[in-house]
């Protein structure tokens, strides 16, 4: 059964819209845990558009579950993560002009750089994941680099309908088994919501689903604790 990682970046988005102190994503992480979150995910971006440095250090000190730090593979983020020591780091691609992450990290063509980068993180006892598209070349490269996890990008699955979605789901299933054969633990996320999550959650050997936007959107109506609890129930009924 997959566990649930709750991304609270969008709570920080609301705060930063007014450049004020509320809503505080650290307080909302507590509500997410009360709702059943198994981990808390935050993306510390280069431009600090939502999550701030202060947030990640407070989260590390206060949450009771696990902290997953999403970040670009830069020298600045390497230094921060080694100081923070999150439970694990997920390396993601990052462009300043994007609204949200648009696709997986191209580990295949950055193998040499990422091998040293991942090794440095693991030397600090930080487990490392790569957010990648469900493609065998990217999975193979992730294994060769030394990642502990991969997180399969489910964005296309979420966008597609009908037969196209069925095909994309098949790719995700095949990628999960292929990664498992290489000894990689498989997470998944991006674009998952209350309508499309069950088929992904039913895939054998998916370790964790990372979901943010849909849960925070639902929380506007019912509150964060209940929104997380409802999502947890959906991914647990397999």
Structure confidence at residue 101 (pLDDT): 57
Fold of 3-236: TIM Barrel (3.20.20)
Q: Of 43, 94, 151, 168, which one is the catalytic site residue? A: 43
Structure confidence at residue 29 (pLDDT): 97
What's the CA gap between 68 and 115, in Å, rounded? Answer: 20
**Strand stretches in 134-231, DSSP E:** 149-153, 185-189, 206-211
Structure confidence at residue 96 (pLDDT): 57
As a whole number of Å, the end-to-end CA separation of the chain is 7
Q: Which residues contact 215 (CB under 8 A, 6 or more apart)?
A: 6, 7, 32, 224, 227, 228, 231
Q: Of 33, 70, 151, 208, which one is the catalytic site residue? A: 70
Structure confidence at residue 97 (pLDDT): 53
Query: Catalytic: 213?
Result: no
Query: Catalytic: 178?
Result: no
Q: Of 10, 50, 153, 190, which one is the catalytic site residue? A: 190
What's the CA gap between 84 and 92, in Å, rounded? Answer: 18
Q: Which two tokens stand for residue 21?
A: 């102190």
Which tens digits make up the pLDDT trace of 209-220? 999 999 999 999
Query: Catalytic: 135?
Result: no
Low-confidence ranges of the chain (pLDDT < 70): 95-102, 238
């Amino acid at each position: 059964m997959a566990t649930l990682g709750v991304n609270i970046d969008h709570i920080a988005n609301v705060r930063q819209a007014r450049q004020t102190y509320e809503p505080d994503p650290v307080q909302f992480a507590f509500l997410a845990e009360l709702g059943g979150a198994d981990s808390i995910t935050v993306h510390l971006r280069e431009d600090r558009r939502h999550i701030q440095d202060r947030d990640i250090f407070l989260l590390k000190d206060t949450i009771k579950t696990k902290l997953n730090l999403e970040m670009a593979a830069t020298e600045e983020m390497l230094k921060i993560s080694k100081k923070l020591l999150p439970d694990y780091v997920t390396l993601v691609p990052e462009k300043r002009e994007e609204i949200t992450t648009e696709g997986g990290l191209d580990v295949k063509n950055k193998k040499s750089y990422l091998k040293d980068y991942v090794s440095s993180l693991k030397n600090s006892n930080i487990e490392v994941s790569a957010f990648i598209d469900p493609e065998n070349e990217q999975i193979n490269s992730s294994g060769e680099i030394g990642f502990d996890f991969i997180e399969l990008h489910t964005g296309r699955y979420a966008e597609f309908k009908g037969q196209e979605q069925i095909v994309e789901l098949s790719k995700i299933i095949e990628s999960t088994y292929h990664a498992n054969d290489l000894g990689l633990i498989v997470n998944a996320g991006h674009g998952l919501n209350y309508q499309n999550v069950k088929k992904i959650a039913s895939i054998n050997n998916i370790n964790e689903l990372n979901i943010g936007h849909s849960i925070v959107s639902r929380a506007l109506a019912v509150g964060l604790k209940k929104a997380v609890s409802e999502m947890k129930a959906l991914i647990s009924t397999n």
